[in-house]
Amino acid sequence: MSKLSGITPSGHVHLGNHLGAVRRWALDGGADDLYFVADLHGMTTPHNPARLRSLASEQLAVLIAAGIDPERVFVQSDLARELGALIWVLECTCNYGEAARMIQFKEKSAARSASVEGGGGGMDGKSKGQAGVRLSLLTYPALMAADILLQGAGEVPVGEDQRQHVELTRTLAKRFNSTYGEVFTVPEAVLPPAGARVKDLTDPTRKMSKSTRDAAGVVFVLDEPDQVRRKIRRAVTDGGSVPVHAPDTRPGMANLLEILAACRGGSPSDLAEEFSSYGAVKDAVADAVIEELQPLRERALTLLDDVAELERVRKAGAERARERGSHRLDAALRMIGAN
Residues taking part in catalysis: 108, 207, 210
Kindly state the smallest distance separating residue 190's Cβ from ligand AMP, in Å.
12
Q: Which stretch binds ligand AMP (CB under 6 A): 26-34, 204-212, 238-246, 268-276?
A: 204-212
- 260, amino acid identity: L
Contacts of 330 (CB under 8 A, 6+ apart): none
Rounded to the nearest 5 degrees, what angle is found at the Cα of 41, between the Cα atoms of 100 and 205?
85
Contacts of 104 (CB under 8 A, 6+ apart): 140, 161, 162, 164, 165
Using CB under 6 A as the binding rule, the residues of this chain from 140 to 159 that contact ligand AMP are: 159
Kindly state the smallest distance separating residue 197's Cβ from ligand AMP, in Å.
5
Q: Which of 3, 4, 20, 151 binds ligand AMP (CB under 6 A)?
A: 20
The burial of 213, by beta-carbon neighbours within 10 Å (0-12 exposed, 13-18 middle, 19 or more buried), is given as exposed
CA distances from 221 to 19, 29, 76, 262, 263 (A): 10, 20, 22, 15, 13
Residue 59 touches ligand AMP, criterion: CB under 6 A: no
CB-closest chain residue to ligand AMP: 20
Residue 208 touches ligand AMP, criterion: CB under 6 A: yes
Residue 17 touches ligand AMP, criterion: CB under 6 A: yes
Contacts of 135 (CB under 8 A, 6+ apart): none
Q: Which of 3, 4, 8, 328 binds ligand AMP (CB under 6 A)?
A: 8
Residue 325 touches ligand AMP, criterion: CB under 6 A: no
CA distances from 122 to 87, 109, 125, 294 (A): 34, 20, 10, 57
Q: Which is nearer to ligand AMP, 150 or 221 (CB)?
A: 221
Kindly state the smallest distance separating residue 100's Cβ from ligand AMP, in Å.
23
CA–CA gap between residue 60 and residue 263 (Å, rounded): 23
Residue 196 touches ligand AMP, criterion: CB under 6 A: yes
Name the site residues for ligand AMP (rule: CB under 6 A).
7-8, 16-17, 20-21, 159, 196-198, 207-208, 210
